[in-house]
Amino acid sequence: MMKKIGFVLLFLCLVIAAALLWSKQQIDAYLGSPRVQETQLFTLADGSYFSHLAPQLIDQGLLDSQRWWKVVSKLRSELTKIKSGTYELPKGASLEQILVILTSGHEYQFKLTFVEGSTYKNWQAIFTNAEHIQPLQKTEQELLTALESSSTKLEGLLFPETYHYTADMSAFSIVKKAYLHQQRVLEKLWAERDNNLPYKTPYEALIMASIIEKESGLANDRDKISSVFVNRLKIGMRLQTDPTVIYGMGDRYNGRIRKKDLQEKTAYNTYTINGLPPTPIAMPSEEALYAALHPATTKYLYFVSKGDGTSYFSKNLREHNRAVNKYIRGM
């Protein structure tokens, strides 16, 4: 009798073991099978719970059934602590990998790149076309107030580089980050500036840096371009730089500057005004700021583009006119 009972118990143990092994194999297959056909973004709304996740995964073709869903929640409770946000699911990811990603809190990082020499108008267009970002809802003046800036324009105040953000972050948060970055860079470089510069304030150096940024086709020329403008300011000679004319023309600029444009009296036309324009004309890089505050020691008063990204520098008008004839007019 005892042998018979022992045999039954052994048989039951074997059945249970086989059932557990089969269940484990099924759960392993459920969790381990590739689910993501192509790399994609997946968004978990605020207030999402694990029990709500399966239908969403099914709707997006990432899960074929909820058969083992509750079992997973019992056996792998660490995979149930999902966090709201937008995540990147890589191609070939399994359900387990998906759940690990959704519980990590490491949201997908979108990025926006603002190049050196871009304008605030360019930034606005980039924000408008950006995905998964809350748009700028304040006017330029309201943004300046929010930033506690005494400037009249945002031009030049934002540091140009690549910024990362998560889904539904506000564009203003990037503006604020770029503003504070530019302030730190300007403060540091201003403290380390050369002596005897013709700037009364860091803001004037920022204006000069924006002009250098727009005029420099080659980074190595920046300090010499800076020297031309600094030399002119020191002797009271007008800057006469085309980018300021273009900026003053605004939307009227169509790719050409005519003689009447050079003669037009605008606040930014350095052919008709003395000294610097009232604000920067673009977002300058740290390198342009450095050049504005550390100009090369030269006697140059003129420069002209050679057409290959470099510039030819001259000390007097006669030499400059020869360079214009050679590099611009092809004479």
Per-residue pLDDT at 56: 93
Give the DSSP letter string of 74-118.
HH-GGGG----EEEEEPTT-BHHHHHHHHHH-----EEEE--TT-
Of 262, 281, 268, 148, the closest CA to residue 208 belongs to 281
pLDDT, tens digit (0-9, with 9 covering 90-100), for 10-38: 545 545 555 445 456 667 778 888 999 99
Tally: H helices and E strands in the chain: 13, 8
Please tell me which of 41-50, 56-65, 67-76, 272-281 the model is most confident about, judged by mean pLDDT.
272-281
For residue 243, pLDDT over 50 is answered with yes
Percent of the chain topping pLDDT 90: 73
Total Cβ atoms within 10 A of residue 282: 24
DSSP calls for 207-259: HHHHHHHHH-SSGGGHHHHHHHHHHHHHHT-----HHHHHHHHGGG--S---H
Assess contact for 47 and 6: CB atoms under 8 A.
no
What's the pLDDT at 12? 56
Q: H or E element: which one contains 71?
A: helix 69-75
Is the pLDDT reported for residue 271 higher than 70? yes
The pLDDT of residue 299 is 96
Q: Does residue 303 have a pLDDT over 80?
A: yes
Q: Most confidently modeled of 31-35, 45-49, 269-273? A: 269-273
Mean pLDDT of 103-113: 95
Please state whether beta strands 169-170 and 40-44 pair in parallel, antiparallel, or not at all (unpaired): unpaired
Phi, psi dihedral angles at 201 (to 5 degrees): -140, 160
Higher pLDDT pick, 108 / 67? 108
Query: Residue range 124-151: average pLDDT?
Result: 95
Tell me, what's the pLDDT at 20? Answer: 47
Which pLDDT value is given to residue 7? 55
Higher pLDDT, 175 or 220: 175
Q: What is the pLDDT of residues 141-155, one digit of tens each?
A: 999 999 999 999 999
Q: What type of residue sits at position 122?
A: N
- Give the least confident one: 121-135, 154-168, 206-220: 206-220
